Amino acid sequence: EAQVTQNPRYLITVTGKKLTVTCSQNMNHEYMSWYRQDPGLGLRQIYYSMNVEVTDKGDVPEGYKVSRKEKRNFPLILESPSPNQTSLYFCASSFYRTGARTQYFGPGTRLTVL
């Protein structure tokens, strides 16, 4: 089954404790992206990657890191989480060519930083 998986689905942590949210896709997509969803603001892009070893900042990259060592995986790293990073996070992937840019989203990770 074609899918994007994220782990964990729910996470409660404390300020400053490093964490990683994993994302994996099995559709051989070149493009992967991380979003956060906050009330009234919709989905805002954090980081994206157009292929292996190619990553770039989205609209709200502060406080986050990513890596793309393999095509299927795109982990999101919070080196020192803060309460303003409490949010719902989505990973997404797609092909990167005209006419096939529909993104497939993972189920989401709800993060609470105390």
Partner 1 sequence: DQQVKQNSPSLRVQEGRISILNCDYTNSMFDYFLWYKKYPAEGPTFLISISSIKDKNEDGRFTVFLNKSAKHLSLHIVPSQPGDSAVYFCAASAYGQNFVFGPGTRLSVLP
The C-alpha atoms of residue 68 and residue 84 are separated, in whole angstroms, by: 25
Nearby residues of 41 by Cβ (< 8 Å), 6 or more positions away: none
Does the footprint of partner 1 cover residue 35 (CB under 8 A)? yes
* Least gap, CB of 5 to partner 1 (angstroms): 10
Residue with tokens 């089954």: 1
CA 81 from chain centre, in angstroms, equals: 15
* Least gap, CB of 75 to partner 1 (angstroms): 17
Does the footprint of partner 1 cover residue 62 (CB under 8 A)? no
Does the footprint of partner 1 cover residue 61 (CB under 8 A)? no
Does the footprint of partner 1 cover residue 1 (CB under 8 A)? no
Kindly state the helix (H) or strand (E) to which residue 74 belongs, with its residue range.
none
Residue 63 or residue 108: which is nearer to partner 1 going by CB? 108
